[in-house]
């Protein structure tokens, strides 16, 4: 590539504009994850490992492999693992978790009881390595306590990354990812040895993990009947069109009176007015009436 | 305790704080149609500590839109406008009367003023967001809307503490607890003081009606303060047990503004709420400027 003749600061941009556009569009079509022009370096950085793993010489070859190669579908899964972000932790954004515990959960449980039902359905949309759905399960257990056994509780957790899902299935975490969690809860719901914390079965069994690609609108439309949906820091990766379509599917996935939580710095203001904005202490959520 | 007992007691209190005479005259002057800069500046100068404070507030970061320091009252009046100076005089003087009142136990004074100042600042930003022509009065209103709580704390201390605790235990609004235990609310008590002191009518209206803006006369101003009050409570500036959850578009203040033709639906309330999370510095600096001592947190 003649890197030695290129000034240092420019050495890394071996992904041509054309390759970038091809790959960006391919990723967008297949996952909804959108890399704007400003994120070219990020994409290049993430994909460089795939090039190495497949022993390819440049990004154009990688593109052809994804599009036409014999291992296409396997490589697409690896691609999804590389481009999705897995930064998460237990009790992330504590005011939101507090709002779930102190307001939203009380409200939806009350509504269910009024209808003579003891079913609770939650969805962690974009669950990454499982910290979020297990947090939701812990909050539900803390709320229902011994009444939990009388309830049919299911927390569906979906992600596009198989690697993230298998890590969620293992349910083993380090102390760092539990840093925002009260000690008592760590003690109650994890088996600890050294720096490893394993989620106890009573929590694990409330969570059902499954692969779901949000671009696959048919399968997304099967997601129905939820009291509470968490979809935090997912929409930021989508472009406007997909954001609008997906948010309207999130709306449809909720039962009346249900709540949607998005990332603490995200807003649906320019996406939809279907929900009612709810203010909780230090947190916002959206309610379907 | 009954409502009548509270009212009688309030009548008899001899050391009920009074507003400096100069301030009352300024408020009256401000309402006359032919007020001029010299009259206003002359009046403020009759109370040198007040003049100094007004100048200090005019130079605070809150108004820092001018390159140079404002070094005289006349200049402050020219740069900020008479209306704004009257706003400053009103808020500074009422707050100065009260800032050291209140017994402290049960009634958390610092938390109280933080909430009031935050409400004022949020009200001002929200009014700007709506392009409402409330001329800075929404700030004064936000600042002073809960003034009745200080009177209740100072003169009916144990009952007020009881009401305060009741509201926390039962997760109910403080005014409901006051009504139950004292037979009267901080809104009514504050309103009586506003009448006694001859505060401008809009202030009395905000003090009395900030929980039901649909009953107010100065509807948009009261509605803006009522929403700012809720947002302050939902953010970091809750006072006491008044943390709450609410749907903004179901609030009467919101509906009042909507009915008046304000484009409330166009405001990105998510962004607005998030940005109001950072009013802390402004709150501290305002309190430090007015009270003269630092608002250690």
pLDDT for A160-192, tens place per residue?
999 999 999 999 999 999 999 999 999 999 999
What pTM value is reported for the model? 0.87
Closest Cβ opposite residue A280 in set B245, B265, B268: B245
C-alpha of B128 from chain center: 17
Query: Taking Cα atoms as reference points, which of B190, B9, B12, B18 lies closest to residue B93?
Result: B18
Last residue of a domain, one of A38, A53, A83: A83
Phi, psi of A57 (to 5 degrees): -90, -30
Looking at the structure, tell me whether residues A68 and A102 fall in a common domain.
Answer: no
Query: Residue A136: pLDDT above 90?
Result: yes
Q: Which of the residues A93, A107, A281, A285 would you substitute to probe the B interface, choosing the one with the greatest number of B C-beta atoms within 10 Å?
A: A281
Among A103-117, B28-42, B62-76, the least confident range: B62-76
Closest Cβ opposite residue A277 in set B236, B249, B277: B249
The more confident residue out of B109 and A124 is: A124
Among A271-275, B38-42, B58-62, B227-231, the least confident range: B58-62
Looking at the structure, tell me whether residues A234 and A267 fall in a common domain.
Answer: yes
Predicted confidence at residue A10, as pLDDT, reads: 38
Looking at the structure, tell me whether residues A182 and A218 fall in a common domain.
Answer: yes
- The H or E element that residue B288 is part of is helix B280-291
Give whole-number Cα distances, A215 to A31, A33, B138, in Å. 6, 9, 47
ipTM of this complex prediction, to 2 decimal places: 0.85
Rg (CA), chain B: 19
pLDDT band at B240 (very low <50, low <70, confident <90, very high): low
Q: How many CB pairs under 8 A join A and B?
A: 50
Predicted confidence at residue B35, as pLDDT, reads: 84
Average confidence (pLDDT) over B2-20: 81
Contacts with A, B 216-235, CB within 8 Å: 230-231, 233-235
Looking at the structure, tell me whether residues A257 and A282 fall in a common domain.
Answer: yes
Query: Residue B286: pLDDT above 90?
Result: no
Contacts with B, A 260-279, CB within 8 Å: 265-270, 273, 276-279
Last residue of a domain, one of A83, A111, A141: A83
Is A279 in contact with B265 (Cβ distance < 8 A)?
A: no
Predicted confidence at residue B285, as pLDDT, reads: 84
- The H or E element that residue B247 is part of is strand B246-247
Domain around A67? 13-83
CB hemisphere CA count around B93 (13 angstroms): 25
Predicted confidence at residue A11, as pLDDT, reads: 37
Query: Taking Cα atoms as reference points, which of B205, B157, B207 lies closest to residue B182?
Result: B157
Predicted confidence at residue B80, as pLDDT, reads: 87
Average confidence (pLDDT) over A124-134: 97
Average confidence (pLDDT) over B10-16: 76
Q: Does residue A3 form part of some domain?
A: no
B32 near A CB under 8 A: no
Predicted confidence at residue B36, as pLDDT, reads: 87
Looking at the structure, tell me whether residues A238 and A272 fall in a common domain.
Answer: yes
The CATH number of the domain covering residues in B3-12+102-290? 1.10.3210.10
Query: Taking Cα atoms as reference points, which of A71, A132, A144, A74 lies closest to residue A108?
Result: A144
How far B271 CA sits from the closest chain A CA (Å)? 7
Looking at the structure, tell me whether residues A56 and A107 fall in a common domain.
Answer: no
Q: Does residue A21 form part of some domain?
A: yes
Looking at the structure, tell me whether residues A71 and A98 fall in a common domain.
Answer: no
User: Number of folded domains in chain A?
Assistant: 2
pLDDT band at A13 (very low <50, low <70, confident <90, very high): very low
pLDDT band at B105 (very low <50, low <70, confident <90, very high): low
Residue A280 near residue B234, CB atoms below 8 Å? yes
A280 near B CB under 8 A: yes
As a whole number, the mean pLDDT across chain A is: 92
Is A273 in contact with B265 (Cβ distance < 8 A)?
A: yes
Predicted confidence at residue B294, as pLDDT, reads: 57
Query: Taking Cα atoms as reference points, which of B248, B265, B192, B252 lies closest to residue B222?
Result: B252
Predicted confidence at residue A9, as pLDDT, reads: 37
pLDDT digits (tens, 9 = 90+) for A32-70: 888 989 899 999 988 998 998 898 989 999 999 999 888
Q: Does residue A1 form part of some domain?
A: no
Residue B216 near residue B205, CB atoms below 8 Å? yes
In B, which residues are within 8 Å of A276 by CB distance?
247, 249-250
Query: Residue A147: pLDDT above 60?
Result: yes
Q: Which two tokens stand for residue A207?
A: 């969570």
pLDDT band at B31 (very low <50, low <70, confident <90, very high): confident
Distance CA A75, CA A51 (A): 11
| Residue ranges per structural domain of chain B | 3-12+102-290, 18-100
Give A259's strand partners.
A228, A287
Predicted confidence at residue B116, as pLDDT, reads: 93
Q: What is the CATH number of the domain that holds A38?
A: 1.10.155.10
Distance CA B229, CA B249 (A): 15
Predicted confidence at residue B107, as pLDDT, reads: 61
pLDDT digits (tens, 9 = 90+) for A102-118: 999 999 999 999 999 99
**Long-range Cβ contact pairs of A42-50 (< 8 A, separation 24 or more):** A43/A15, A43/A83, A44/A12, A44/A13, A44/A14, A44/A15, A44/A20, A46/A82, A46/A83, A47/A15, A47/A23, A47/A79, A47/A82, A47/A83, A49/A82, A50/A75, A50/A78, A50/A79, A50/A82
Predicted confidence at residue A112, as pLDDT, reads: 97
Looking at the structure, tell me whether residues A203 and A113 fall in a common domain.
Answer: yes
A52 near B CB under 8 A: no
Last residue of a domain, one of A30, A53, A83: A83
Nearest CA in chain B to A289: B247
Residue A134 is classified by DSSP as H
Query: Taking Cα atoms as reference points, which of A72, A70, A62, A56 lies closest to residue A23?
Result: A62
3-class state of residue B21 by DSSP: helix
Looking at the structure, tell me whether residues A238 and A160 fall in a common domain.
Answer: yes
Q: Does residue A162 form part of some domain?
A: yes
Q: Which of the residues A279, A283, A288 would you substitute to probe the B interface, choosing the one with the greatest number of B C-beta atoms within 10 Å?
A: A279
Looking at the structure, tell me whether residues A120 and A154 fall in a common domain.
Answer: yes
Looking at the structure, tell me whether residues A165 and A225 fall in a common domain.
Answer: yes
Query: Residue B101: pLDDT above 70?
Result: no
Looking at the structure, tell me whether residues A180 and A53 fall in a common domain.
Answer: no
Closest Cβ opposite residue B268 in set A267, A278, A281: A267
Query: Residue A223: pLDDT above 80?
Result: yes
Name, of A8-12, A59-63, B282-286, the range with top average pLDDT.
A59-63
Kindly provide the residue ranges of all beta strands, DSSP E only, lying in chain A, ordered along the sequence.
119-125, 152-159, 172-174, 190-193, 196-199, 207-211, 226-231, 254-262, 276-280, 283-287
Among A85-99, A160-174, A219-233, the least confident range: A85-99
Predicted confidence at residue B296, as pLDDT, reads: 47
């Amino acid at each position: 590539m003649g890197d030695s003749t290129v000034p240092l600061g420019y050495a890394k941009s071996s992904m041509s504009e054309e390759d970038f556009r091809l790959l960006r569009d391919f990723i967008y079509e297949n996952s909804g994850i959108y890399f704007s022009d400003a994120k070219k370096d990020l994409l290049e950085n993430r994909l460089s490992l795939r090039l190495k793993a497949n022993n390819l010489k440049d990004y154009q070859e990688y593109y052809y492999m994804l599009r036409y190669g014999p291992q296409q579908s396997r490589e697409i899964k690896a691609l999804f693992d590389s481009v999705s972000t897995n930064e998460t932790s237990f009790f992330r954004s504590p005011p939101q978790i507090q709002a779930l515990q102190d307001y939203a959960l009380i409200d939806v449980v009350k509504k269910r009881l009024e209808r003579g039902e003891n079913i609770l359905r939650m969805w962690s949309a974009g669950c990454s390595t499982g910290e979020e759905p297990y947090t939701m399960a812990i909050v539900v257990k803390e709320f229902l306590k011994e009444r939990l056994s009388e309830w049919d509780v299911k927390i569906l957790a979906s992600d596009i990354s198989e690697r993230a899902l298998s890590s969620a299935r293992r349910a083993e975490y380090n102390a760092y990812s539990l840093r925002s969690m009260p000690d008592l809860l760590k003690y109650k719901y994890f088996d600890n040895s050294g720096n490893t914390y394993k989620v106890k079965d009573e929590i694990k069994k409330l969570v059902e993990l499954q692969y779901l690609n949000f671009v696959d609108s048919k399968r997304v439309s099967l997601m129905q009947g939820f009291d509470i949906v968490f979809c935090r820091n997912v929409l930021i990766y989508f472009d406007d069109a997909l954001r609008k379509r997906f948010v309207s599917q999130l709306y449809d996935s909720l039962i009346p009176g249900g709540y949607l939580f998005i990332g603490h710095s995200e807003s649906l203001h320019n996406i939809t007015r279907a929900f009612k904005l709810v203010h909780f202490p230090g947190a916002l959520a959206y309610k379907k009436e | 305790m009954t409502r009548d007992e509270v009212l009688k007691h309030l009548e008899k209190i001899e050391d009920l704080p009074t507003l400096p005479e100069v301030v009352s005259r300024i408020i009256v002057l401000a309402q006359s149609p032919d007020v001029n800069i010299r009259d206003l500046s002359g009046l403020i100068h009759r109370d040198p500590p007040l003049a100094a404070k007004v100048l200090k507030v005019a130079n605070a970061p809150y108004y820092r839109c001018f390159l140079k320091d404002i070094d005289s009252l006349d200049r402050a009046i020219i740069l900020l406008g008479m209306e704004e100076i009257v706003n400053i005089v009103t808020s500074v003087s009422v707050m100065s009367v009260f800032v050291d009142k209140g017994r402290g136990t049960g009634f958390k004074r610092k938390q109280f003023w933080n909430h009031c100042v935050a409400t004022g600042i949020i009200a001002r930003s929200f009014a700007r967001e709506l392009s409402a022509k409330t001329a800075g009065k929404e700030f004064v209103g936000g600042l002073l809307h809960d003034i009745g709580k200080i009177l209740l704390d100072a003169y009916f201390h144990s009952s007020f503490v009881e009401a305060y605790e009741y509201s926390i235990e039962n997760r109910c609004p403080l005014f409901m607890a006051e009504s139950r235990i004292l037979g009267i609310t901080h809104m009514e008590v504050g309103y009586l003081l506003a009448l006694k002191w001859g505060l401008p009518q809009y202030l009395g209206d905000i003090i009395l009606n900030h929980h039901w803006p649909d009953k107010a006369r100065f509807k948009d101003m009261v509605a803006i303060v009522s929403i700012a009050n809720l947002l302050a409570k939902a953010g970091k500036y809750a006072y006491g047990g008044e943390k709450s959850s609410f749907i903004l578009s179901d609030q009467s203040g919101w509906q009042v503004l909507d009915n008046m033709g304000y484009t409330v639906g166009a405001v990105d309330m998510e962004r607005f709420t998030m940005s109001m999370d950072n009013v802390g510095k402004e709150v501290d600096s305002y309190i430090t400027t007015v009270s003269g001592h630092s608002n250690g947190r």
